Structures are given as C-alpha cells and as structure tokens.
Chain A
Amino acid sequence: MGWIPSTVSGRCYCIILFFLAGAPWIFLWTNQPFLLDLLCRGLILAIAATSLNLIMGYGGMVSLGHAAFIGIGAYCVGIPAYYDIYNGWVHLGLTVVVSAIFALLTGLVSLRTKGVYFIMITLAFSQMIYFTFVSLEEYGGDDGLVIYLRSEFPDFLTMQGPVALYYWIFSTLLLTLFLVHRLVHAHFGRVIVGAKHNEQRMQLLGFDTYRYRLTCYVISGVICGLAGMLLGNFTGFISPEMMNWIRSGELIFMVVMGGSGFLFGPLIGTGAFVFLEQYLPEFMKFLNPSWLEYWHLPFGLLLVLLVLVGKGGIHGMLSKLDSKAQQSSK
C-alpha cells in the first residue's frame, strides 16, 4: 500500500491529520466544546508557526516580530467589522494586501541585516505596529475591539458555528502545509534553503539572495496574516496584545520545539506548546495547590529540555526512532 508513509514520523503525522479531520465530531459527540475551542486556537497558531518555519526553518531568517502579522490579519477583520462591513472577501483581500505590504516594507529594510540584527529589527518593527494600534483610540486602543459577527462568505462556505469555523481553520492549515511543501521543493525553495546554508556561495552561483528572501518573507507574512484573520474570527475579540513580541517569541518556541525546517515540525510543536500551557497549571495544582502560580518554571524547563535533548525538536526524536528501526531490521 504505497500511500502509507514508511517512516514512524510520517505515520504519526498521518494519524494526526486523520484525527484532526474528524475531531469536531468526536468532541461534539463527547460534548467537549472546550476541547474543540482549544484545538481551533492550536491550529490557528500552527498556521502561524508554519509560516514562520518557512522563513526561519528553511530560510534561516529568525524573526522576532512575526506575531505582527497575526495582529494585522485580526485587525483586517476587526476594523471593517467596526464599520459593519462583514463581507469575508473584503476581510480576506485586506488581510492579503496589508500583510504583503507590511512584509514588503519591513523586509526591504530588515533583510539587509543578518543574525542578531535581523532579530532586533523585526522586533522593532513589530513593536512599532503594536504601539501604533495601542494609540489608535478609535479602534479601542489598549482595550481592543469586539467583533460581533464573523466574516461572511455569501454563496460560499459559511464560517458561522464552531464546526464550520473549525473546518475553515483546518483547511487553511492543510493548504498552508501543502503550499510550503511545494515551495521548498521547487526551484524557489532550493534557493531559499541554499542561502540559509551558504549565502555567499549562492550569490556566486548567480542568485540575488536578497530578492529571493524578500519574496519568501512576503509569502510567509501573508500566510501568517491569514492565521490572524482566522484568530480574529475565532476569538471575536482583538487587541494589540496579539502582536506583542512575546507572542512572536512563543511562535519561535513552537517551531523549534516541533522541529525547525521540517514540514510538520511547527504543527506538533504548537500542539505540545498549547497542551502544556493548558494542562501544566492544572497538573501543578493537582500536585500541590500552592504550586499553581509557579507553573511557568517547569514549563520553561520543559521547553528548554525539549530543545536541548531532542535536537531537531519532536520531529528529530521521531526520526531517531526511524533510524533505530532501520538499524534493527538490517
């Protein structure tokens, strides 16, 4: 049966995708709307993390400002909704255009730099837009905006109701994964990956690496913007807090934890992150109620451990199972 992946990790991802495809029905039957919510949030973040993986994991551009795009996408729903414009195509179009422009303008400047400087500049840009929205009193400033109705796609697929929204999110994730997969194996992606490993060599092979990276950055920004658009629809409440640099840092963690530079790394990384964030406090409380407020400590330690022990993140650990299996079958 050729369509079953031959590796342990491949099978795991297959199972995860099948589970995700049916998850809403499982949670509805078992009457766990909360779990469905958690899953929605996790998958939205997974889309954002996958977009970050494209520039960071494949392209070596570590951005500490990627959450800015989540915020942009969310406000591209929120601000029209504030003026009673609920047409989803408008929201979608705005998200794509504004994210692309923001990525292009900030990328033009930040991609001139490398390493720590790139991290700092992306951070600076995201804080700039963060404080811009904080100061926009008209749109709630610090307090944010409430979105009363979800984006409407008349004569297309509805987003109303938890299950419909879930499938919007799930299909966007699938599309994103597929797109990134095609991209990194196509001519374009080879240039991006090559420039990560040896930029000077790539330039001396005739590639204007700056332009290729800029294109990649814009693609990644737009995908992350779409995640923001979904997040705005999901939470129904948006605020500048969504683009805080701490959110960007969490995205990096999700990618690294899952396996930077691997297609499914961000998805499992996000899963692990959201799970721990949700259940570690409860677990701490279960051990000793007074420990609850210290849950960040084991959380941080676990993250560091995952990154250190499993080089290549969770994906790296799964791949080790593969090589072990191969060795024992020899």
Chain B
Amino acid sequence: MTRPLLHISGLCKSFGGIVATDHIDLEIRPGFIHAIIGPNGAGKTTLIAQLSGTLIPDAGQIKFNGHNITSLSAPNRVKLGLARSFQITSVLLPMTVLENVMLAIQGTDGHSYRFWTPIHKDHEMLDRGMTYLQMVGLEDRARYLAAEVSHGEQRQLEIAMTLALKPRLLLLDEPMAGMGLEESARMIRFLAGLREQTTILLIEHDMDAVFSLADTLSVLVNGRVIATDTVKNIRANPEVQRAYLGDDHA
C-alpha cells in the first residue's frame, strides 16, 4: 500500500463542553477521493479547520506528506499544498472574479512584495487566472465583481481559487451547498475530472454526490469516526444506517 498523504492521529478539539473532534484517526491515500459524511454539527467543518490550520487542536497529530504540520501556520500549510474551500462562500466580494483567482495564484507563487507594477499589467498572471476560470466555466464572468455574480458562480469561483493554489490535497467543505440540481450535477462531473490531478477530502451532504465520487468514506457522528470503508461497505453497514443514513437509504 502507498504511504498516506494525510495521516491524522488522536485528534481532539472541544469548545467548552462541546466535544467537536473526539480522537479522530484517519488516513488519506494519494489519488483517492475520500468523503466524510455526518449529520449537522458532527464536527466536519471543525475537522477541516484543524487540517487547514485556522483551529489549533487540543491534542493529536496531523502529518501531511510525511511532515508533522500540527503546529504549522495556515499560510505555510497552503504552501505545502494543502488547500481548502469554504462551506460558506468566502470570496473577496469587492474584487472582480479574475482578481480573486489571481490572488490565489499570487498566494503560492513566491512572495507578493512587489510594489510597483500594476497587477493588471502582469499578463502572465492574467492568463493563468483565465485558465482557472475556464476550468470551472467562469471565463465570461471574469470582469464582474464577485459580489455581482450568482451564488452558484461564487461557489465555482471558490473552487477555482482553491485549484489555483495547486494543492496536493484539496479539502472541500460542502462544495455543492446551496446549489441547484443542475449546478450540482455539473460540479460533480467537474470534481470527478479532478481525480487524476489531486487527492480530495470531500465533505458533502448530497448523498448522490458522495456515492458517485468517493472511493472511500468515513462517517462522523458527534466528533467521532464511527466507520471508514469503501462506499459499498458503508452502505451495507447497519450501524451507519442507524446513525446516519436512515432506512430509506438501506
């Protein structure tokens, strides 16, 4: 078996009395799409926050590509190739769609202590920005403000920005949240196409999406991983059905 790209062991995090992450052990192998499902408040976003470095775990260890990154700052994790998207759209609304993607390119492209040349004259970066927008089908929205485009388009932009970070591991927190049926279907196809390029940790409520995309699946309930297995086995697991999927999925 190949070495895991991400290795989480004994991760714990509580907020006052609420245990949001309860001794989580998890391995994600390179090239896989690993999904995490779980009811509202199970601790999925909290887990992503600890992986991306915005929340410091109370205990446990996170290893990425062999490095212990548990106490590494968020920007430095990004530079190692760990990028996340947000459940609640988190783009820079007063900037244009293209500017948003260009910022993401800037973020992993050496430093930005460049004080003189206007960014709109950096043709190389403009081109690269447009490439990412084309990937998600937003090229004709490039000059609009991020605040002006639709919610679905903001979700696409969110993905484009995350991709522009050239991640080795993509942490996607409910990328389909708030999307219409058609938009979701397009996003699923798009994510399926990313399989060759990067490893993905996918959090998603949409079961169709999870079942069609994921190679492996973990079920998170009350901060604990109650099962990790292939999609097929999880669907057949009676404990999981009781805890989360409900009878209609059986």
**Footprint of B on A, CB under 8 Å?**
182-183, 185-191, 193-194, 197-198, 200-209, 212, 215
Q: Mark B37-77, 1 if CB is under 8 A from A, else 0.
A: 00000000000000011100000000000000000011110
Q: Are A187 and B120 in contact (CB under 8 A)?
A: no
In the complex, how many angstroms separate the beta carbon of B186 from the nearest chain A beta carbon? 24
Query: In whole angstroms, what is the CA distance A191 to B53 when docked?
Result: 19
Which of B19-27, B89-97, B132-140 forms part of the interface with chain A?
Answer: B89-97
In the complex, how many angstroms separate the beta carbon of B161 from the nearest chain A beta carbon? 7
**Which of B93, B112, B117 has the most CB atoms of chain A within a 10 A radius of its CB?**
B112
Choose one: B73, B103, B113; the contact of A190 (CB below 8 Å). Answer: B103
* Interface membership of B119, Cβ < 8 A: yes
Residues of A near B76 (CB, < 8 A) are 208
Query: In whole angstroms, what is the CA distance A215 to B112 when docked?
Result: 11
Residues of A near B74 (CB, < 8 A) are 203-204
In the complex, how many angstroms separate the beta carbon of A178 from the nearest chain B beta carbon? 11
Residues of B near A187 (CB, < 8 A) are 106, 112-114, 117, 119, 122
Residues of A near B94 (CB, < 8 A) are 197
Q: Are B118 and A208 in contact (CB under 8 A)?
A: no
Q: Are B119 and A205 in contact (CB under 8 A)?
A: no
In the complex, how many angstroms separate the beta carbon of A114 from the nearest chain B beta carbon? 15
Query: In whole angstroms, what is the CA distance A98 to B233 when docked?
Result: 68
**Which of A198, A207, A208 has the most CB atoms of chain B within a 10 A radius of its CB?**
A207
What total count of A-B pairs have CB within 8 Å? 91
Q: Are B115 and A188 in contact (CB under 8 A)?
A: yes
Q: Are A206 and B75 in contact (CB under 8 A)?
A: yes
In the complex, how many angstroms separate the beta carbon of B94 from the nearest chain A beta carbon? 6
Q: From DSSP, what is the main secondary structure of chain A's interface residues?
A: helix
Query: In whole angstroms, what is the CA distance A194 to B75 when docked?
Result: 14
Residues of A near B78 (CB, < 8 A) are 203-206
Q: A186-B117, A188-B113, A205-B107 are in contact. List 17 more A-B contacts (CB 8 A).
A: A182-B115, A185-B118, A186-B114, A187-B113, A189-B115, A193-B95, A194-B103, A202-B103, A204-B83, A205-B106, A206-B75, A207-B75, A207-B106, A207-B107, A208-B73, A212-B113, A215-B113
Question: What are 13 inter-chain pairs, A to B, with CB distance below 8 A?
Answer: A186-B119, A188-B114, A190-B112, A197-B95, A201-B90, A203-B74, A204-B74, A204-B84, A205-B108, A206-B75, A206-B78, A212-B113, A215-B113
Identify the closest chain B residue to A191 (Cβ).
Answer: B112
Query: In whole angstroms, what is the CA distance A168 to B5 when docked?
Result: 60
* Interface membership of B165, Cβ < 8 A: yes
Residues of B near A189 (CB, < 8 A) are 115
In the complex, how many angstroms separate the beta carbon of B15 from the nearest chain A beta carbon? 17
Q: Are B92 and A197 in contact (CB under 8 A)?
A: yes
In the complex, how many angstroms separate the beta carbon of A260 from the nearest chain B beta carbon? 13
Scan residues 135-160 of chain B and give those whose CB is less than 8 A from a CB of chain A: none
Q: Are A201 and B92 in contact (CB under 8 A)?
A: yes
Residues of B near A191 (CB, < 8 A) are 103, 106, 112
Q: Are A206 and B114 in contact (CB under 8 A)?
A: no
* Interface membership of B99, Cβ < 8 A: yes
Given A200-B54, A205-B107, A206-B78, A185 and B92 contact (CB-CB distance below 8 Å) = no
In the complex, how many angstroms separate the beta carbon of A324 from the nearest chain B beta carbon? 20
Q: Are B92 and A194 in contact (CB under 8 A)?
A: yes
* Interface membership of B79, Cβ < 8 A: yes
In the complex, how many angstroms separate the beta carbon of B249 from the nearest chain A beta carbon? 33
Q: Are B165 and A206 in contact (CB under 8 A)?
A: yes
Q: Are B92 and A207 in contact (CB under 8 A)?
A: no
Q: Are A186 and B103 in contact (CB under 8 A)?
A: no
Residues of B near A182 (CB, < 8 A) are 115-116, 118
* Interface membership of B227, Cβ < 8 A: no
Query: In whole angstroms, what is the CA distance A97 to B179 when docked?
Result: 54
Residues of B near A183 (CB, < 8 A) are 115
**Which A-B residue pairs are the 10 nearest by beta carbons?**
A206-B107, A205-B107, A206-B78, A187-B114, A185-B118, A187-B112, A203-B74, A208-B75, A201-B90, A206-B108
In the complex, how many angstroms separate the beta carbon of A128 from the nearest chain B beta carbon? 30
Q: Are A200 and B90 in contact (CB under 8 A)?
A: yes
In the complex, how many angstroms separate the beta carbon of B119 from the nearest chain A beta carbon? 6
